[in-house]
Amino acid sequence: MQTTQTDHDGQTPHADLAAFATGEARLLFVTGSALYRRLMLGGLAAQGFQVTLAENAVAALRLRQGGPRFDVLMVDIDLPDMDALAFARSVRSGGLWSEQPLVAMSICPEPRRRSDESAAGFRQHVAVMDDGCLTRSFCM
C-alpha cells in the first residue's frame, strides 16, 4: 500500500504532521475496515507511532469520554456508523481532541469533498493506493 498526502488546498503537507513520525506520537486511527486497521498498526508503529485503533466513530467518541490524549487523529472517510464529516465536527466542537490535527484517509479521494472536509476540521487528506508502502507519506 502507498499513501499520498496533501493539504486541503492541494499544497505540500504541514510539516508538523510529518514530524509526528519522528517520536512516540500517539495516533488514533478510526476506520471500519479490519484490513486498514491491521495494515496501519504495523506500518505506523514501524514509523514510531503509538497507534490506538477504533473500529468506528462511536468507539472513538467513547474513547474521547475516557480521556486518552492523542497527538493526531486519522479518520477513514468511509466510516460505517457515522459520516466522517459529522465525526470531525463533533471532535472540533470542543473538549478533548478539539485542537488535535485531524487527517482524512480514503482509498479514492474525491476532490469535490476537500472543501467540506476542510470546513469540518480536517487538516490533510491521505489517499491509500495499493503498491506496498502504506506509511511513506508520513515520513516525507
Q: What is the CATH number of the domain that holds 82?
A: 3.40.50.2300
What's the structural domain count of the chain? 1
Is the pTM for the entire model greater than 0.85?
no
Q: Is 129 helix (H, G, I), strand (E, B) or coil?
A: strand
Q: What is the block-wise mean pLDDT of the chain (140 residues), using blocks of 10 residues?
A: 44 45 81 83 83 93 91 93 95 94 83 85 77 44
What is the separation of C-alpha 9 from the centre of its chain, rounded to a whole number of angstroms? Answer: 17
Domain that holds residue 31: 2-139
